[in-house]
Structure 1
């Protein structure tokens, strides 16, 4: 089935613009324990060769020359070899230990036989079971470039090559302003009243996308209330997110606020469903305002369209490339419009999850990803997918 196409910036272009306009924030240096989830502002380099010494890759015997070999000691991990091996000599060695000078190879323990003070076994080829100095990386080698988000493996890598701190971009502070006199914050909605879903949802989403969320603030629909709230939030945060005030109704104040400030939007509506009435505009030096629709699923789509790429740009992270999957399911289409729908992984790719109307979060709450269905998509064809 087809619907009429809304005007606005194309979804892919809106995403690119939001990333492109954001200049990375300044650089700070933090201990490894505080770096998880942040983005590298400088590359991570090897402070010494990795490994830093010739290392035994197996438990066994470091041997020199042809056998049998006279056993003349042992080396455990963490110890420094005391002697240089000569032809016909061996030392017992453990995995991870430093191979003594003069050793040609390591004869693994399963292939060796102890005979009094002698070790017998097949003569290994030179270099067997030895990890040579610098095999993984030479001193000074770039191991990870700037712009990479720090995860557990990155922390381990940085520690293994001698770093105690990392240069990172700080998380941008994000304040969410929730508008709408019809909203209630506790219990179920009622006659004319709707339970707020965005206040509980958006802070964790902001944190997941690399921002530092402030506590949501609730703004009534009286004239001037949004202007005061935006001014206060903009003095404290790099990004102000406004929900439910992006349309052109009598209570929708955001566009009037931007016009009064002379702020020209970078993106003003997006040709996608849901989430068409979303916008991005400058709020001042290194300050941005993102307008989200009031409907919860539409707001989530807008977050991934504009706010996520904006936060990537502010933290110096590249715009992520979306993977592809075969997507199956029944989706209402519209000419010239990108549809974003929740999908769950299955054996053949991904299938559309039911319950994804603009105001309903059931489908996306159960989904693994959002499928980005460009115009012309048909069930069973390939689409880009944005992990949730």
Structure 2
């Protein structure tokens, strides 16, 4: 009987679903609920609920540019100036009168238009328009935002422009989702932390990079450890984790030194995704025990990075209450063969003609990924030039 593995897309959706599920299951845990922060502190965080405006934007009918507020046909008799920050007047502007006004200042009742500074001249105490215009140049109250209008839905990341709009709408603080903690475990006796590895060894390329990638997803990586190829040690490290997310590299295949699957079983973790029908990254695993989810990636560098992007990003998004990022389409500039079963993930460079796979990329190589613009997913059977295939965004691009 042939085991049917989940597709990359199904696994991606499952990772997001499991993140949402874990967040819901642990919402009542101490310290797991939303927190309220001022706008500056909340930048980059995820809104825990819909954010509504506290006031109109603008809060009054105001001048869209420097000029004169006028009523009736000209020429107009000039009155006192109005500047930005002035208290809105409740005294109507009489017909045939004009008042100098600066951008953003409140226009008085009865104002029919703001005549731009460059469209009129002043002489003998009167304002004369010399450039016809049908535009009012007045921003009505609530033109951009109305009070109690939802600015952003829960699950939205508070970017600087969004925080600026929130501030303009009278918001001072927001409720944000708690940041999920994450631990990285790099497995393998052959992994060394510094210098040029001797024959038979490889350099640790994960301890300093995977935490950074997890940070771009929105997680808080609290530690990174190297773990030897030992079943007891592997089980002990996984068992001791108290973070929301544990990401491991290596030990997921079926050799005599691959102990992750057995360790997960020993600690009572439920296996949620058992390999994925994709290359590189096929032997990745997703499991959960209590309030912790384990994303176990292959040890080859490109395979681990592919697995982290494909499943780690959606998983953290689910934990934060963010929606799953949609996948678009990218056009191939060249033919891309794939004569093996399952999807093929390739790093690509964007060119005017379309996507071109990067050179120097296998499951063990990083050179092609280092300067890539994204990942593309080629289905079994391959793709031809001019055909659209799904891309996956690289979080550091």
Q: What TM-score, normalized by structure 1, do the two folds share?
A: 0.93
Q: Work out whether 1:267 is the aligned partner of 2:273.
A: yes
Whole-angstrom distance in 2 between the partners of 1:377 and 1:328 = 13
Deviates more, 1:47-56 or 1:28-37: 28-37
Whole-angstrom distance in 1 between the partners of 2:337 and 2:297 = 22
Whole-angstrom distance in 1 between the partners of 2:220 and 2:247 = 12
Q: How does 1:240-255 map to 2 (within 5 A)?
A: 240-255=246-261
Whole-angstrom distance in 2 between the partners of 1:337 and 1:294 = 20
- Asked if 1 retains the 8 angstrom alpha-carbon contact of 2:120 and 2:131, the reply is no
Task: Report the Cα offset of residue 170 of structure 1.
Answer: 1.9
Q: How many residues align?
A: 381
Deviates more, 1:355-364 or 1:367-376: 367-376
Equivalent residue number for residue 362 of structure 1: 367
Whole-angstrom distance in 2 between the partners of 1:339 and 1:203 = 26
Equivalent residue number for residue 311 of structure 1: 316
Task: Report the Cα offset of residue 376 of structure 1.
Answer: 3.4
Structure 1 residues 101-143: Cα deviation after superposition (integer angstroms, max 9, x where no partner): 2211111111111012111116977871001111112111111
Task: Report the Cα offset of residue 52 of structure 1.
Answer: 0.6
Residue 390 of structure 2 aligns to a residue whose secondary structure is strand
- Asked if 1 retains the 8 angstrom alpha-carbon contact of 2:76 and 2:127, the reply is yes
Task: Report the Cα offset of residue 329 of structure 1.
Answer: 4.0
Residue 167 of structure 1 aligns to a residue whose secondary structure is strand
Equivalent residue number for residue 58 of structure 1: 65
Equivalent residue number for residue 300 of structure 1: 305
- Asked if 2 retains the 8 angstrom alpha-carbon contact of 1:6 and 1:276, the reply is no
Residue 184 of structure 2 aligns to a residue whose secondary structure is strand
Q: Work out whether 1:20 is the aligned partner of 2:17.
A: yes
Whole-angstrom distance in 1 between the partners of 2:264 and 2:162 = 41
Out of 65, 72, 96, the position equivalent to 2:79 is: 72
Out of 87, 99, 102, the position equivalent to 1:91 is: 99
Q: How does 1:162-173 map to 2 (within 5 A)?
A: 162-173=170-181
Task: Report the Cα offset of residue 277 of structure 1.
Answer: 0.5
Task: Report the Cα offset of residue 281 of structure 1.
Answer: 0.7
Whole-angstrom distance in 2 between the partners of 1:90 and 1:386 = 58
Residue 293 of structure 2 aligns to a residue whose secondary structure is strand
Out of 256, 259, 275, the position equivalent to 2:262 is: 256
Q: Work out whether 1:29 is the aligned partner of 2:36.
A: yes
Equivalent residue number for residue 341 of structure 1: 346
Out of 6, 9, 12, the position equivalent to 1:9 is: 6
- Asked if 2 retains the 8 angstrom alpha-carbon contact of 1:106 and 1:124, the reply is no
- Asked if 1 retains the 8 angstrom alpha-carbon contact of 2:238 and 2:263, the reply is no
> Which structure features the higher share of strand residues?
1
Q: How does 1:38-57 map to 2 (within 5 A)?
A: 38-57=45-64
Residue 40 of structure 1 aligns to a residue whose secondary structure is coil
Q: Work out whether 1:213 is the aligned partner of 2:221.
A: yes
Structure 1 residues 207-233: Cα deviation after superposition (integer angstroms, max 9, x where no partner): 111111122111111231011111222
Residue 215 of structure 1 aligns to a residue whose secondary structure is strand
Whole-angstrom distance in 1 between the partners of 2:93 and 2:212 = 60
Q: Which runs of 5+ in 2 are unaligned?
A: 28-32
Residue 214 of structure 1 aligns to a residue whose secondary structure is strand
